[in-house]
């Protein structure tokens, strides 16, 4: 029996598949660029954010060379960015049998990696501010043993003390909530999102 092949249909299917792949590539590129821009606005190096996005979207392990080629960044920048993501605890080295290159994967479960990043941001940004505010909270014009001041100077000092105490109290509460949300064993973040969903 002779097998009839319809080349027109094969070409049509190939074209559809090609367009789907190109649409996925365009969407991936848009996501990676947007994630990089968002990272910059959040105080994260653009390359770090782009590598994170690329690894998040990768179905398997990715080599340094692949990251450099697709993101058009230097080897040094790629290595420093990967190191930072590994320090965050969201990217891991992955051995690929038969390969000598280093490969990397990103934790895919957002409920695992997002709290890690939140905890690092809290440690780097909120904790130092909280320490300074706690020290400033101890400031009291009466404890300085200074001469009586003018009413304007007293008002300025009282406003300072009141505002620092208010900001410190608020920051301390935010810190406690962040500790609970970022705890690896806590499901509070998931419950909170389900509550508002």
Residue 184 vs residue 164, higher pLDDT: 164
Ranges 19-23, 118-122, 147-151: which has the least confidence: 19-23
Check if the beta carbon of residue 67 is closer than 8 Å to that of residue 110: no
Q: State mean pLDDT over 91-117.
A: 91
- Please check the confidence at residue 145 and state whether its pLDDT lies above 70: no
Better pLDDT: 29 or 154: 29
Highest-confidence range of 62-71, 140-149, 176-185, by mean pLDDT? 62-71
Copy the structure tokens of residue 26.
């365009």
100 or 191, which is more confident: 100
DSSP type of residue 110:
H
Contact 91, 82 (CB under 8 A): yes
- Tally: H helices and E strands in the chain: 8, 3
Q: Are 49 and 38 in contact (CB under 8 A)?
A: yes
Q: What is the rounded distance in angstroms from the CA atom of residue 159 to the CA atom of residue 139? A: 12
What span, in angstroms and rounded, lies between the C-alpha atoms of 123 and 53?
A: 23
Mean pLDDT of 117-142: 80
Is it the case that residue 185 has pLDDT exceeding 50? yes
Residue carrying structure tokens 């301390």: 172
Mean pLDDT value of segment 112-139? 83
> For residue 173, what is the DSSP state?
H
Confidence of residue 80 (pLDDT cuts 50, 70, 90): very high
Q: What is the pTM (predicted TM-score) of this model?
A: 0.71
Neighbouring C-beta atoms of residue 46, cutoff 10 Å: 19
Question: Which pLDDT score is estimated for 142?
Answer: 58
């Amino acid at each position: 029996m002779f097998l009839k092949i319809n080349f027109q249909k094969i070409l049509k299917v190939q074209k559809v598949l090609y367009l789907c792949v190109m649409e996925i590539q365009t969407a991936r590129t848009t996501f990676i660029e947007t994630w990089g821009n968002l990272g910059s606005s959040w105080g994260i190096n653009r390359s770090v954010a782009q590598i994170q996005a690329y690894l998040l979207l990768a179905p398997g392990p990715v080599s340094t060379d692949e990251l450099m080629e697709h993101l058009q960044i230097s080897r040094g920048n790629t290595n420093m960015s990967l190191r930072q993501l590994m320090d965050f605890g969201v990217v891991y080295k992955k051995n690929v049998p038969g390969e000598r290159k280093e490969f990397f994967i990103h934790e895919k479960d957002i409920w695992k990696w997002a709290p890690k990043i939140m905890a690092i941001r809290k440690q780097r940004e909120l904790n130092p501010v909280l320490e300074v505010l706690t020290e400033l909270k101890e400031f009291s014009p009466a404890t300085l043993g200074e001469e009586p001041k003018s009413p304007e100077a007293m008002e300025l000092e009282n406003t300072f003390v009141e505002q620092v105490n208010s900001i410190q109290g608020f920051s301390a509460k935010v810190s406690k909530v962040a500790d609970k949300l970022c705890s690896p064993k806590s499901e509070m973040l998931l419950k909170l999102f389900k509550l508002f969903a």
